[in-house]
Structure 1
Amino acid sequence: MRFVTVITLLALFSVFAVVHSKEDNCDSGELDDCSGEPGDSHDDTNPDNSGNPSDSSEPDDNDGNSDSKSGSGEATYYEPGLGACGYQNDNTEYVAAINAVDGSDKAAFCGKKVCITYKGTEDGMDNGVKTRPGKVTVTLVDLCPGCAKGDIDLSHPAFLKLTGDLGPGRVQMSWQYC
């Protein structure tokens, strides 16, 4: 019984912390300033509207492992929840899961910003769906164990902002820490 009580208290504390961190990041008090919904007021030059604990420091480029700072592969999308970094996220935020190779050190990737670029295709179609080139900045909050090196799994709003449509399901992209 004590174990259940402790787990319940930890869950409540986590919810309380997430709610208060969102309130701290939503200065205007308007929902769409923090929701991550397509068409919202997210500014990719200052995209910290995720509601996650913020790491305001820049990534350390002197760790000798430049491969972990950028990559290219496929972008897919998923339904965020409680991720490997311990953050509870939902499908209104610009968040992502990095592949297990590039994300082998949680301390190095959790909370980091990643700038993703999708160049589109010559005919404007990708997997039979009309798309357009795009860019999005996301916060890394999870691991994608089924993703290959270079791949990133995005929340729905992030994938939609990147491609203009969820239909393709998987597109070629490049990314780098930003």
Structure 2
Amino acid sequence: MARSGLLFLIVAFFAAILCVLSAPVPVDEEARDIEKRTSYTGQGTWFEVGLGACGKRNKNTDFIVALDTSLYAGGKHCGKTITITDTQNGKVSTATVVDECPGCGHGSLDMSPSLFTHFASLNQGVIKVKWSFN
């Protein structure tokens, strides 16, 4: 009888451990919100688009961007939208992350021609931008 009581305690102990280990882990909403609130500043440039690092073929008329290598983070932000502000004229637009820009400095964006012309002439070539994830 003592043996069956001990066996019951062992089974109950492991069942309790299993319940604790299988409990859902909360999503770190605060970390996600912090990323959304973080704004970046840098240069905005433009490029002729095609097959992006995210694996999708794009057109020059799409409102898309390439992030610098550190923010691209191996594709972590592929498909996410960002809001961009030209800090010199105040114009604002949204765009989708589809590519990586190895030559861009931290916080800088490479834009499709149509997105860039929303802010300035292609002849200008470079603008100052502030942006954040949506």
Amino acid at match of 1:137: T
Q: Is 2:40 the counterpart of 1:71?
A: yes
Q: How much has 1:69 moved relative to structure 2? A: 4.5
Q: Percent of counterpart pairs with the same letter?
A: 32
- The residue number in structure 1 matching 2:127 is 171
Which protein is bigger by CA-based radius of gyration? 2
List 4+ stretches of structure 1 deviating above 3 A: 63-69
| Deviation per residue, 1:2-48 (Å, 9 max, x gap) | xxxxxxxxxxxxxxxxxxxxxxxxxxxxxxxxxxxxxxxxxxxxxxx
TM-score when scaled to structure 2?
A: 0.71
Structure 2: segments with no counterpart, 5+ residues: 1-28
Partner-residue secondary structure (3-state), 2:41: strand
Structure 1: segments with no counterpart, 5+ residues: 1-59, 121-131
Aligned residues: 106
Q: How much has 1:167 moved relative to structure 2? A: 1.9
TM-score when scaled to structure 1?
A: 0.54
Query: Contact 2:62–2:115 (CA<8 Å) still a contact in 1?
Result: yes
| Deviation per residue, 1:100-159 (Å, 9 max, x gap) | 0111141x2000001000121xxxxxxxxxxx4311110000000000100000001101
Correspondence list, 1:74-113, <5 A? 74-106=43-75, 108-113=76-81
Q: 1-side partners of 2:87 and 2:32: how far apart? A: 29
